Amino acid sequence: MKFNRIYSIFLRQMYLIKSNPIRLLSIFMWLIIDIFQWGFLTKYLGSFGGAVFNVVTVLLGSVILWEFMGRIQQGIMTSFLEDVWSQNFINFFASPLEVKEYLAGLVLTSVLTSFIGFLIMLLIAGLIFGYNIFVIGLYILPFILLLFIFGVAMGLFITGLIFRLGPSAEWLGWPIPAVMAIFVGVFYPIAALPNYLQFFSQILPPTYVFESIRLILKGDFNIGMNLVLGLVLAVIYLFLSYLFFLSVYKHNLKTGSISKFSAEES
């Protein structure tokens, strides 16, 4: 892996953002809208009193972490789509660039925009709704790591799908976080799900983050196994997603799709 090649992919994305600041709006606008929406909702729910936990801390905290993961996934996907829309693959793949370097460049771009988005959310949540992410202590760090790894895995998986099926497959990428939120307990404990759906919860790494947050806020710090399970699962998903993208790339090498891949193809 050569850093200069990863940097070139990152630089291209940064130039795109610089050239059109409206892109920044699309990156951060939904985050800001979401945080206000959920912030006021949690404040309203908290006003009833009688809850066994702090609604703002549990719900708003989970929403922020979930948005962070979703942004990582979508950041990778949209950076990839920029190359689809500009029909630029041939310039990159007929160069010394390796697939893993290309993907690392997309991840680096997504990390930057997602972390900026994360900080904006924390700032709004802290200033307006009194949310403090460190209320669960330093456990927040492995939680962020786990969600980051899984977000990258999902991002690679969906870009692989788009690379294989064509640009129209981008529509499979947008609803992934919303669909997954049903199973991973962002808004409610997974015990609220019917038993047959809890199987899906158990194989999805973010479940272990959100279940752990609820345990910690109830004073139960015995979450070590949750963290290990979640991290192991996230790394497995990352590895499988990378292999999937690689297999699609090799398939496209055989079919010639790399030079033909364009937004016009469906």
Partner 1 sequence: MAVVEVKNLTKKYEKFVAVNDISFEIQEGEIVGLLGPNGAGKTTTINMVLGILEPTSGKINIFGKNLKNNRTEILQKMNFAAVYAHLPTNLTVIQNLKVFGHLYGVKNLKNKIDELLKDFDLEKFKDHKAGSLSSGELSRLNLAKAVINNPCLIMLDEPTASLDPSVSKDIREMVKKYVGKNISSGLELGKPAVLWTSHNMREVEEVCDRVMFLSKGKIILEGNPKTLAKEYGKKDLEELFITVAREPLSLNNEI
Residues 161-180 close enough to bind partner 1 by CB under 8 A: none
Query: Binder to partner 1 among 8, 182, 193, 236 (CB under 8 A)?
Result: 8
**Residue 92 or 163 with smaller CB distance to partner 1:** 92
**Residue 8 or 198 with smaller CB distance to partner 1:** 8
Q: Which helix (H) or strand (E) holds 249?
A: helix 224-255
**Residue 9 or 35 with smaller CB distance to partner 1:** 9
Closest approach of partner 1 to the CB of residue 112, in Å: 16
258, burial (CB in 10 Å: exposed 0-12, middle 13-18, buried 19+): middle
Instruction: Verify binding: residue 4, partner 1, rule CB under 8 A.
Output: yes
Nearest to 142 by CA among 57, 242, 65, 203: 65
Query: Binder to partner 1 among 132, 141, 259, 265 (CB under 8 A)?
Result: 259
Closest approach of partner 1 to the CB of residue 239, in Å: 22
**Residue 91 or 202 with smaller CB distance to partner 1:** 91
Residues 42-81 close enough to bind partner 1 by CB under 8 A: none
Closest approach of partner 1 to the CB of residue 18, in Å: 9
Closest approach of partner 1 to the CB of residue 258, in Å: 5
> Rounded distance, CA 123 to CA 125, Å?
5
Closest approach of partner 1 to the CB of residue 85, in Å: 9
CA–chain centroid gap for 143, Å, is 13
Residues 239-258 close enough to bind partner 1 by CB under 8 A: 250, 253-256, 258
Site string for partner 1, 78-107 (x = CB under 8 A): --------xxx-xxxxxxxxx---------
CA angle 131, 231, 78 (to 5 degrees): 70
Closest approach of partner 1 to the CB of residue 79, in Å: 12
Instruction: Verify binding: residue 137, partner 1, rule CB under 8 A.
Output: no
CB 162 within 8 A of CB 170: yes
Question: What's the DSSP call for residue 217?
Answer: H
CB 261 within 8 A of CB 84: yes
141, burial (CB in 10 Å: exposed 0-12, middle 13-18, buried 19+): exposed
Closest approach of partner 1 to the CB of residue 110, in Å: 18
**Residue 8 or 54 with smaller CB distance to partner 1:** 8
Site size toward partner 1 (CB under 8 A) is 31
Q: What is the DSSP string of 67-104?
A: HHHHHHHHHHHHHHHHHHHTT-HHHHHTSS--HHHHHH
Q: Would you state the structure tokens that stand for residue 28, as one six-digit string?
A: 């951060």
CB 63 within 8 A of CB 242: no
> Rule CB under 8 A: which residues touch partner 1?
2, 4-5, 7-9, 11-12, 15-16, 19-20, 86-88, 90-98, 250, 253-256, 258-259
